[in-house]
Amino acid sequence: ASDVAEEVSNLEMLHGGADLRATLALVETLLEEAVRSHPRLTSRRVLLFTDLGRSTWGDTASREISGKLKEISSSSSVSLIELGSRETGNLAITSLLPSEPIATTSQPFTIDAELQNFSPDDVSNRLLQLKVDGNIVAEQSLSIEANSKVSASFTTSIAAPGEHLIEVHLADDALAIDNTRSLSIRVRSSVSVLLVGSRAASTRSLAIALAPELLTSSDVLITEILESTLAEQTLAEYDC
Return left, alpha or beta for 97; rule: phi > 0 is left, psi -120 to 50 is alpha, else beta: beta
Q: Which residue has the higher pLDDT, 211 or 58?
A: 58
Q: What is the pLDDT of residue 158?
A: 94
**pTM assigned to the model:** 0.62
Q: What is the pLDDT of residue 216?
A: 46
Render the burial of 135-166: b for 16+ CB within 10 Å, e for the rest: eeeeeeebebeeeeeeebebeeebeeeeeeeb
Q: What is the pLDDT of residue 166?
A: 97
Which amino acid is located at 92 in the chain? A
Q: What is the pLDDT of residue 59?
A: 75
Measured distance CA(167)–CA(181) in Å, rounded? 6
Return left, alpha or beta for 219; rule: phi > 0 is left, psi -120 to 50 is alpha, else beta: alpha
In this prediction, residues 174-184 reach a mean pLDDT of 89
